[in-house]
Amino acid sequence: MLRGISPLISPELIKVLMEMGHGDEIVFADANFPAVSHAKRLIRGDGLSIVALLEAVLPWFPLDRYVEQPVALMQLAPPDTVRPARWDDYRAILGEHHIGPLQINLLDRDIFYQRSLNAFAIVATGDSAMYGNILLKKGVVE
């Protein structure tokens, strides 16, 4: 344990966050996401919510300011039509920690899965929220 760092950030997760470079991506995946089959590096976050992890990680994790959309969510797939309330939670947390306007990219499911295959790491959470997956592109520490 370290002072000022949430106990939700495991030693494995902090190591991965520190190893990531500018432009690397990380996925915080909900419980339904095929994390094991998609991950180059898999970090278990069983029992944790993505909201709690974002609140713990974002004070330390700069988003990429050199791209238009450093955050991506999985777009609703038919027949789903109801925009998840969880997305508003994400936007609020991201807004607290990102400098400047923030655009969030909505990706088709297959494109989101493809990007996750190339992500630096995937954090598999126990979050049961529908469309809870979120992809973050790391920026530079200023």
pLDDT tens digits for 116-138?
A: 999 999 999 999 999 999 999 99
Q: Is 97 a catalytic residue?
A: no
Domain boundaries, the chain: 24-137
Provide the CATH topology of domain 24-137.
RbsD-like fold (3.40.1650)
Backbone φ/ψ region at 32: left (φ over 0), alpha (ψ -120 to 50), beta: alpha
Q: Are strands 42-45 and 121-125 parallel, antiparallel or unpaired?
A: parallel
Active-site residue identified among 22, 38, 97, 98: 22
Residue 36 confidence class, pLDDT cut points 50, 70, 90: very high
How far from chain centre, in Å, is Cα 34? 15
Share of the chain above pLDDT 90, in %: 90
Q: What is the pTM of this model?
A: 0.95
Phi, psi of 123 (to 5 degrees): -100, 115
Average pLDDT for the chain: 95
